Amino acid sequence: MSQKIALITGITGQDGAYLAELLLGKGYIVHGIKRRASLFNTDRIDHLYQDPHIEHQNFILHYGDLTDSTNLIRIIQQVQPDEIYNLAAMSHVAVSFETPEYTANADGIGTLRILEAIRILGLEKKTRFYQASTSELYGLVQEIPQKETTPFYPRSPYAVAKMYAYWITVNYREAYGIYACNGILFNHESPIRGETFVTRKITRALARIKLDLQDCLYLGNLDSLRDWGHAKDYVEMQWLMLQQEQAEDFVIATGKQYSVRDFVNAAAKELDISITWQGTGVEEKGYWGDKCIVQVDPRYFRPTEVDTLLGDPTKAKEKLGWVPKTSFEDLVSEMVREDYKSAQRDELIKRHGYQAMDYHE
Ligand code: NDP
Ligand code: GDR
């Protein structure tokens, strides 16, 4: 049988990196779309890099952008993919309030551009399409826990753009018979999670506080509740969704919920930091001994917040055999371990009189 060809948008992101690794392991030829940036932006996939001068490459990167349909049509025509995973997005909910038009263009219309490219190129029967949908669609939740039939109520420009992407995916499936499906994935994290998402911000900051590289971690809503899983487990489901007889939409979640404060406590415990909480609301502070190491900063509040998300992955369990492999405790522990190693490197550099990396939000 000939090798399957996959095209991943967002290959330089957290999920893109794990998915590329998974597909290469399954014998796929993997093409990815990366954006031009003024600095190298391929850290997460550098271990997969192949010299473009060798023959029979199975990992190939193309410059591109979801806002440029000419680019997408050309790449898809050239690659003739069996599967497209549309993971590219302006994926930060808080930032989407700052860049709403760009977010709609990339996350919403970007999805349409790929589906139209499939149609324009006559690939409706060949190319299967995965859309990275999100639990943010549930927003102001209408039902607990949330499943495939729960009504949507998006609460950010990001979620509204993703709602368009969700429905245009369903529409192209029904209108043109494209094998297209939505994975409605709840939050998933890992040691390569972007540093400004709350989990990674916490594990990175506490590791640095432990080594005296940072004084305080400033956070927004500590009461926010999320259903957190491991990205490595979740990309396996993205692949499985494209291997079914019929295209369907699936919720992927752990079915367990924790608050941001719970996450802070769990990460602190891994570092033998014991936090005592004092005050409430914007006055809430976390102390390690007499040192204040966590404070609320209203700057991180969102104009409209999603207070609580909890997924019901029953359909994925029954049809895809979904079992989350990583527990909340193991996820936190792995993230803390990795960030502690980086902090130790920075501490060594600092001890030798050089400027250590100290950028944090
Ligand atoms: P990341 O933010 O880590 O990665 C996003 C990727 O999209 C990056 O490769 C980024 O490139 C790329 N990208 C952004 N804008 C564009 C654009 N205009 N054109 C081309 N590429 C672009 O996200 P994750 O890996 O965490 O998430 C993957 C997808 O899943 C996203 O669509 C996200 O919205 C969605 N999702 C994520 C969840 C999660 O908990 N992680 C849960 C549910 C859905 P660059 O590296 O250059 O910035
Ligand atoms: P989310 O993830 O918005 O759920 O979107 P994020 O980690 O940004 O926020 C989770 C919750 O934590 C609260 N919070 C903070 N968030 C950030 N980023 N920084 C803070 O300092 C902070 N303090 C408290 C937030 O208010 C929120 O309630 C992620 C993204 O990956 C999306 O792309 C994806 O679709 C959803 O998960 C499912």
How far, rounded to the nearest angstrom, does the alpha carbon of residue 79 sit from its chain's CA centroid? 25
**Same domain assignment for residues 235 and 336:** no
Please count the structural domains in the chain: 2
Q: Which residues line ligand 1 (CB under 6 A)?
A: 9-10, 12-16, 33, 35, 37, 41, 65-67, 87-91, 106, 132, 134, 185, 187-188, 194
**Same domain assignment for residues 41 and 139:** yes
* pLDDT per 10-residue tile (average), the chain, 361 residues: 94 98 98 97 96 91 98 98 98 98 99 98 98 98 97 98 99 98 98 98 98 97 98 98 98 98 98 98 97 98 98 98 97 98 95 78 70
Per-residue model confidence (pLDDT) at position 354: 86
**Same domain assignment for residues 139 and 266:** no
**Same domain assignment for residues 268 and 179:** no
Quick check: is 321 in a domain?
no
Residue found by looking up tokens 């207070």 in the block? 307
Q: Tell me, what CATH number does 292's domain have?
A: 3.90.25.10
Strands (E), the chain: 5-9, 29-34, 59-63, 83-86, 128-134, 180-185, 188-189, 217-219, 225-226, 229-230, 250-252, 258-259, 276-278, 285-288, 291-296
Strands (E), 162-308: 180-185, 188-189, 217-219, 225-226, 229-230, 250-252, 258-259, 276-278, 285-288, 291-296
Quick check: is 78 in a domain?
yes
**Nearest to residue 243, comparing CAs of 28, 60, 9?**
28
Quick check: is 311 in a domain?
no
Return d(Cα 152, Cα 140) in angstroms, integer. 8
Quick check: is 68 in a domain?
yes
Per-residue model confidence (pLDDT) at position 355: 77
**Same domain assignment for residues 145 and 207:** no
Amino acid identity for residue 343 in this structure: A
Quick check: is 263 in a domain?
yes
Quick check: is 11 in a domain?
yes
How far, rounded to the nearest angstrom, does the alpha carbon of residue 261 sit from its chain's CA centroid? 21
Q: Whose CA is nearest to atom 19 of ligand 2?
A: 198
Per-residue model confidence (pLDDT) at position 221: 98
**Same domain assignment for residues 207 and 339:** yes
Q: Tell me, what CATH number does 234's domain have?
A: 3.40.50.720
Per-residue model confidence (pLDDT) at position 274: 97
**Same domain assignment for residues 276 and 169:** no
**Same domain assignment for residues 336 and 252:** no
- Catalytic hit among 28, 85, 158, 340: 158
Backbone region of residue 231 per phi and psi (left: phi > 0; alpha: psi in -120 to 50; beta: other values): alpha
253-291 burial: b if 16+ Cβ within 10 Å, else e: bbbebbebbbbbbbbbbbbebebeeeeeeeebebebeee
**Same domain assignment for residues 181 and 84:** yes
**Residue 203, ligand 2, Cβ within 6 A:** no
134 catalytic residue (yes or no): yes
Per-residue model confidence (pLDDT) at position 2: 86
**Same domain assignment for residues 11 and 120:** yes
Range of the domain at 295: 198-225+258-303+327-352
- Write down the ipTM of this complex: 0.99
**Same domain assignment for residues 135 and 204:** no
The pTM of this model reads: 0.98
Quick check: is 273 in a domain?
yes
- Catalytic hit among 9, 103, 127, 134: 134
**Nearest to residue 90, comparing CAs of 71, 109, 72?**
109
Per-residue model confidence (pLDDT) at position 149: 98
**Same domain assignment for residues 96 and 216:** no
